[in-house]
Structure 1
Amino acid sequence: MDLQTRKLHLITYLAQLQDEPFFDKIEKYVFLKSEKEGYVQPFSMEEFNQRIDRSLDDSDNHRVTESDELLFEIRQWE
């Protein structure tokens, strides 16, 4: 299984997770690890605004994937 598929599986798992204390532990671990390793780099205001503009353009031009469609696609990979 490639990394992209593994990430999507994890996202699907986390989206369905109902155990809030467990989710809190995962969240703290991920963010602490990211900060220590320097994985999280904040956007500059210019980058942030560019991403917003691109996202709005994608939405206006129907270049989006509905969440239920994405979940269906992910389930097909299993």
Structure 2
Amino acid sequence: MKKITVNCPTCQKPVDYVPENEYRPFCSERCQMIDLGAWAEESYKIPVTPTAEDLEHIMDELDEQSGSEDGKQQSNGYRWQ
């Protein structure tokens, strides 16, 4: 089996990507925990294209925050059709 070497995503140190490395693709538990912490703190984000339903939900929340009476009036005076 050919040995594959990758760079640790955290510190960029070369790491052998083999089953014996329990922290792969990381070089150590420390680097693995740093990465986990970044995910937990939402430092990483996966881009998503919002759906029409998502946009409608956002518009409803903005209307509630702005105090719009009919739920369709924008703060700039335009009305949603």
TM-score by length of 1: 0.28
Indicate the structure with greater strand content. Answer: 2
Indicate the structure with greater helix content. Answer: 1
TM-score by length of 2: 0.28
